[in-house]
Amino acid sequence: MAITIRTTSSSAQRAQQMRETWQKASQHGKNYLAPVGALLASHPPLVQGVYYVLMGLWPLVSLDTLVKVAGPRTDWLQQSLGALVLVIGATLLVAAYRKQNTPEVFCLALGCAGIFAGLDLYFIVSGQVSPIYLVDVVIELGLLALWLSVWRQGEGSWQHRPEAGPHPPGPGAAA
- The pLDDT value recorded for residue 161 is 47
Dihedral, CA of residue 167, residue 169, residue 171 and residue 175, to nearest 10: -170
Q: What is the pLDDT of residue 157?
A: 47
More confident residue, 59 or 165: 59
pLDDT one-digit tens code per residue, 4-30? 555 567 777 877 877 777 777 666 666
In the chain, the amino acid numbered 147 is W
In this prediction, residue 100 carries a pLDDT of 84
The better pLDDT of the pair 120, 175 is held by: 120
For residues 40 and 53, what is the distance between their CA atoms, to the nearest angstrom? 16
d(CA 21, CA 17): 6
Predicted confidence band at 1 (pLDDT cuts at 50, 70, 90)? low
Q: Is the dihedral of CA 137, 145, 30, 53 positive or negative?
A: positive
Between vectors from CA 146 to CA 144 and to CA 150, what angle results, nearest 5°? 115
Task: Dump pLDDT digits (tens) for 140-162.
Answer: 999 999 988 888 877 554 454 44
- What is the tens place of the pLDDT at every residue in 108-132? 999 999 999 999 999 999 998 889 9
Burial grade of 8 (CB within 10 A; 0-12, 13-18, 19 or more) = exposed
Domain spans of the chain?
A: 41-154
Q: Mean pLDDT of all residues in the chain? A: 79
CA 13 to chain centre: 40
- Give the contacts of 114 (CB within 8 A, at least 6 positions apart): 140, 144
* pLDDT confidence of residue 122: 92
Concatenated DSSP letters of 118-170: HHHHHHHHTTSS-TTHHHHHHHHHHHHHHHHHHHHH-S-TT---GGG---PPP
Query: Average pLDDT of 34-44?
Result: 76
Average pLDDT rounded to a whole number, residues 25-41: 71
CA angle 160, 86, 111 (to 5 degrees): 60
Given this model, what pLDDT does residue 158 score?
Answer: 47
